Amino acid sequence: MRRVLETIDDENLGRYEENVLLKKYTTYKVGGVASVVVYPKNVDCLVRLLKVIKEENVKYKILGNGSNVLFSSKPFDGVIIKLDEFNNIRFLSHNKILVGAGFSLIKLCMLACKKGLAGLEFAAGIPGNVGGAVYMNAGAYKSDMGYVVQSVKVLTPELKIIILENKELNFHYRSSFFQTHPGYICLEVLFKLQKGKKELIEEVIKERKQRRLSSQPLEYPSAGSVFRNPEGMFAGQMIEELGLKGMKKGGAMVSEKHANFIINYKNATSEDIKYLIDYVHDKVLEKYNVDMKVEQEFVNWE
């Protein structure tokens, strides 16, 4: 690890922090202490950083906005890489937008709205960044990233930069190429939207915001929906029918407002949340014989 930090300093690869509480960087507001969090200045700095990390055999994790991950409470003895500096945005012709992986998805949605570009309205309430949203194929209201992403600039595990087109990204419900190809990193995304009326786009965004406020426990830390909806079914409905709303473990609780949310209502630990996720999963499997898939990514539990 020492050589990694020396390289960052000597070659001015970006700023970094040591011994960082990961709850500062996750929407669940839980997690252990990470040895180092690094913010590479650009792609060249990222490539150099990864080269030395691999040479030194140091564990690392690319982390977006932390809105869909659950870190354990154990120390993360490695490097967390945040691409916050990858925040460029360019509005191109033919209703296209080129955006860095570290750009806020909500901010992108609002800027597209101001330009009268339609297609991203579904993302107005998703608190991730562009790279994380592509990784998870984030979506809502029967739409997702697969409908609006034309191509992605990617860094391969061999540290080569390539472009993957939409058909190569294997977008499916809450899944993408990146989830099945560890080591590939989203750098920049080309969106293709449609021309629309600004006022109508604003109205859709406003109406959906009100719907979220009334139906989701946004006043508490969470990571959004815990489980994917099985085909033709609703995870929240099954959980509610089992009477699990309001179930608590330590400071974590199955939301009384929306059963498919687990909230950190009172200084929960990662383990409190994980317990509830596993318990709810097993109860649904037992009752309905449905093996619900977790939307969140579990990190540092091995």
Does the active-site annotation cover 175? no
* 2-82 belongs to CATH 3.30.43.10: yes
Inform me whether the pLDDT recorded for 46 exceeds 90.
yes
pLDDT interval class at 127 (50, 70, 90): confident
CATH 3.90.78.10 positions along the chain are: 216-299
Inform me whether the pLDDT recorded for 220 exceeds 90.
yes
What pLDDT was estimated at residue 61? 97
What pLDDT was estimated at residue 212? 87
> Exposed e or buried b for every residue in 144-168, given b needs 16+ CB within 10 A?
bbbbbbebbbbbeeeeeeeebebee
What pLDDT was estimated at residue 8? 97
Inform me whether the pLDDT recorded for 163 exceeds 90.
yes
Residue pLDDT, tens place only, 165-219: 999 999 999 999 999 999 999 999 999 999 999 999 999 999 988 888 889 999 9
The 3-state secondary structure of 141-167, one letter per residue: CCEEHHHCEEEEEEECCCCCEEEEEHH
Question: Range with the lowest mean pLDDT among 3-7, 32-36, 126-130?
Answer: 126-130
Catalytic residue (choose from 176, 222, 225, 270):
225
pLDDT interval class at 142 (50, 70, 90): confident
Axis-axis angle for helices 43-55, 2-11 (nearest 10)? 150
CATH code matching the domain that covers 216-299, chosen among 3.90.78.10, 3.40.50.300, 3.40.50.1700, 1.10.101.10: 3.90.78.10
Inform me whether the pLDDT recorded for 22 exceeds 90.
yes
What pLDDT was estimated at residue 74? 97
Residue pLDDT, tens place only, 58-113: 999 999 999 999 999 999 999 999 999 999 999 999 999 999 999 999 999 999 99
- Domain 89-201 sits in CATH at 3.30.465.10
Does the active-site annotation cover 295? yes
What pLDDT was estimated at residue 6? 97
pLDDT interval class at 160 (50, 70, 90): very high
- Model pTM score: 0.93
What pLDDT was estimated at residue 14? 97
CATH 3.30.43.10 positions along the chain are: 2-82
Average pLDDT over residues 11-17: 97
CATH 3.30.465.10 positions along the chain are: 89-201
Residue pLDDT, tens place only, 234-285: 999 999 999 999 999 999 999 999 999 999 999 999 999 999 999 999 999 9
What pLDDT was estimated at residue 186? 98
Does the active-site annotation cover 225? yes
Catalytic residue (choose from 174, 176, 188, 255):
174
